[in-house]
Amino acid sequence: MPCKTTATTIRRRQRISCAVAIILPSCLSSSARAEPLRLRADAVAETRSPTGLVVMQGEDAARPWVDVEGLVWAGARPNATGDVLVLAMRLKEPHGYGEARFGRFVLATGAIRPVQLDGAELIGRAPWGSTVETFGGAPVIPRFGPRAYDWLVGTRVSQSIGSRATAGVSYVQRREYGEVANEEIGADVASAPAPWLDVAARGAYDLTSPGIADALVSVATRFAAWRLELFASHRSPSRLLPATSLFSVFGDFPSQSIGSTAKWRAAPRLDLLLSGAGQSVGGNLGGNAWARATLRLDDRADGVLGLEFRRVDVSGAQWSGVRAISAQALGGGLRYSTEVEIVVLDHPEGRSPAWPWGLMALSWRSSSRWEVAGALEASSTPEHRYETDALLRVSRTFDGATAARPARTQSQGSQ
């Protein structure tokens, strides 16, 4: 059981609390009176150490071709240090023929692995459905660390065939200390040849260490209240993303899989899903299966009840798990949600056989664009028998149109 990895992943979760989002309103007041500038700002901070997170998004209704986004980490344990996660400006051609993005952002396109980049991305679109993407820059070093002539460049060319299919080819090269560290070529295709049929595939080949870095093929069909999917995948260690739950902590590892998923709308608000796959991990065969039921309590899915059972039995990971989810709008802008996961190990090897994780949250949104959300998270990890964190977020959306034309803004916001 990958306990060390599990502990590291759980520690990396964003546990945030206690914040007030009143960021730079005075600096924006003069432009807000002149132009319908819209700014959303969130600020969060963690209780156990001097850390925090600031999120800012801005757009201008008078200039819809430009928007900005910022995500700043204001500290990290054990020492208070700053870091910019995202800080980018995007320019868009009014007719959709192109756009440009500059700054720090996360690049994810086609078969290219997601990468955090300091640089630029240019996209051009032709009326006949062709798209060319070109990007380049320096991969991000945490906390403004030194770069030793590291950079990344790449491109993707794709073609749409009517509204039924899109195919693309991509290439990316990354250098460290001036030498080629990674070089990949990839292809992706998505098609809906019939209203009841979806086909998608992507793959990436590593030219530096020849071999398949990532591959996925999926075929899905829909009829009546059913959706059936067949899939096959290959995942290398470089393609694993950060985990967001205990299920992904314990069950996400390099493997080759082939399986199927069935979704049945048993009732207008009730969905049942069943999935199973055979897996090869390190040359050893195994498999996983899960079943999930989701009940929507209203037509807009503001209220949801969910229950999931999962079983994983592969080399190095044998466990069973259950997850329960509940969310409900309480009226008056209030909403609560609860999520509980329990993983039971087949071979605890001297550790606790059951690993629980839970999160309870309550949020309130006012008509004056204030939003308050709080949560309590509790879990058990390899390092701590139990761990509890409290979270609180306060955010505010600033709309310049309110200052210029308050009556009109109110009516637009209610539409």
For each of the chain's 415 residues, which pLDDT tens digit applies? 444 333 333 333 333 333 333 333 333 333 333 344 445 545 444 444 444 556 666 766 667 778 877 766 554 444 545 566 777 888 998 888 999 999 888 888 888 888 888 899 999 999 999 999 999 998 887 655 566 678 899 999 999 988 889 999 999 998 888 788 889 999 999 999 998 999 999 999 989 888 888 899 999 999 989 999 999 998 775 555 554 555 655 555 577 899 999 999 999 999 999 999 998 887 788 999 999 999 999 888 889 999 999 999 988 788 899 999 999 988 888 999 999 999 898 888 777 788 888 888 888 988 877 888 888 888 876 667 777 877 677 777 766 544 333 333 333 333 3
Give the E-state strand segments of 165-269 in sequence order: 165-176, 179-194, 197-206, 211-223, 226-235, 255-267
Q: What is the pLDDT of residue 30?
A: 36
* Residue whose C-alpha is closest to residue 263's, from 221, 300, 216, 322: 221
Q: How many other β-carbons are positioned within 10 Å of the β-carbon of residue 114?
A: 11
Q: What is the pLDDT of residue 55?
A: 62
Q: What is the pLDDT of residue 69?
A: 75
Distant-in-sequence, close-in-space partners of 243: CB < 8 Å, separation ≥ 6: 9, 249, 252
Q: How many other β-carbons are positioned within 10 Å of the β-carbon of residue 207?
A: 16
Q: What is the pLDDT of residue 22?
A: 31
Residue at token pair 């009326």: 127
In contact, 388 and 356? CB cutoff 8 Å: no
* Residue whose C-alpha is closest to residue 19's, from 44, 40, 41: 44
pTM of the predicted model over 0.95: no
Q: What is the pLDDT of residue 170?
A: 95
In contact, 218 and 254? CB cutoff 8 Å: no
The pairing of strands 317-331 and 98-107 is unpaired
Q: What is the pLDDT of residue 317?
A: 81
For residue 382, is the peptide bond before it cis, meaning its omega torsion is within 30 degrees of 0?
no
Q: What is the pLDDT of residue 143?
A: 56
Paired tokens of 386: 């139990």
Distant-in-sequence, close-in-space partners of 124: CB < 8 Å, separation ≥ 6: 97, 98, 131, 132
